[in-house]
Amino acid sequence: MANILVLDDVFDAVALLKRILEKKGHRVSCFTEEEEAIDHVKANDVDLVILDIKLKKIDGVEVLAEMRKADPNIRAIMLTGYPTLESARESLRHGAMEYCVKPIDKDEIEEKVEEVLGKEPNS
């Protein structure tokens, strides 16, 4: 199974994703702080990151750009409670492979995680 990093400034959202993904057999590292998540990607092999767009200090798209400097092949799914066409475009432009709207739907996130993990990086 995959090593997945989850970053959201809301602890309950991180905990929910951890439960969902661990039931599917994935190893999940959870973060609520942007810098800690970026450092984790620099120091560890991560197959997939799931990032909220609206965070405390840096937006999730910028966090993804930093993570991709450390690992250009990292796969990403962006989450948002405030969907806009511009945020979707910006996420995809920075390498996100999928985009999910909150509240998190268990079936949708499971499906998108499996789909993204099945794709080649940067495809």
- pLDDT above 90 (res 119): no
Report residue 91's pLDDT band, with 50, 70 and 90 as the boundaries.
confident
Does residue 56 belong to any structural domain of this protein? no
Does residue 49 belong to any structural domain of this protein? no
CA distances from 39 to 33, 58, 81, 118 (A): 10, 14, 25, 25
Report residue 82's pLDDT band, with 50, 70 and 90 as the boundaries.
confident
38 membership: H or E segment, kind and range: helix 34-43
Does residue 45 belong to any structural domain of this protein? no
Distance of alpha carbon 22 from alpha carbon 99, whole angstroms: 20
Does residue 90 belong to any structural domain of this protein? yes
Q: Write down how long the chain is.
A: 123
Q: ∠65-79-46 over CA atoms, to 5°?
A: 55
Structural domain for 114, as ranges: 76-118
**17, 106 Cβ separation under 8 angstroms:** no
How many structural domains comprise the chain? 1
Give the predicted TM-score (pTM) of the model: 0.93
Does residue 111 belong to any structural domain of this protein? yes
